[in-house]
Amino acid sequence: MPKYMLIMRATDESWANFATADFGEVLDAMGKFNDELIRAGVLLAAEGLDDAANGVVVDFTGETPVVTDGPYGETRELFNGYYILDVASIQEAVEWAKRAPMTAGSYTEIRRVPGIDEFPQDNEWVQKERAWREQTGQL
């Protein structure tokens, strides 16, 4: 089955709404949603991310990479967490995303994650990655 990444994005509005939310209730709602994904057998990975103020950006737009400490970019350019789901179609990924307990004002981007079988199998680096995935039980 194809894999899809649900990329959770915030806005200034959703950050303001989150600031007034009860964190215990947020954890409870996310936990219930995660449990649904696990019980359905579609969850492969899920992580939230630390505040962008604690991150850095490596910018490759110039001749040499430039590192900038966070916070960086506008809120709408950042993502705050992700899920990787093993589902049959983008439509199924959309249905799961619609059920996620997100803060009002936020949004979710959904992107397919190509599998290793979609790359040229005669490429040395693809072969090395395939061997690593097999060795680590990912294939």
Calpha distance 89→110 (Å, rounded) = 11
Calpha distance 100→81 (Å, rounded) = 12
Q: What is the pLDDT of residue 23?
A: 83
Residue with more model confidence, 112 or 105: 112
| Structural domain harbouring 110 | 3-135
Q: Give the angle subtended at the CA of 133 by the CAs of 94 and 33, to the nearest 5°.
A: 30
pLDDT band at 96 (very low <50, low <70, confident <90, very high): very high
Q: What's the total number of domains in the chain?
A: 1
74: domain CATH number?
3.30.70.1060
Instruction: Pick the closest to residue 4 from 95, 125, 87, 116 (CA basis).
Output: 87
Q: How many CB atoms lie within 10 A of CB 49?
A: 13
**pLDDT digits 0-9 by tens, 67-87:** 988 776 666 667 889 999 999
- The predicted model scores a pTM of 0.82
Region 1-14: what's the mean pLDDT?
A: 86
**pLDDT digits 0-9 by tens, 18-38:** 788 888 888 898 899 999 999
Q: Average model confidence (pLDDT) for the chain?
A: 89
Q: What is the pLDDT of residue 3?
A: 95
- Largest separation between any pair of C-alpha atoms in the chain: 54
Q: What is the pLDDT of residue 134?
A: 94
Percent of the chain with pLDDT over 70: 96
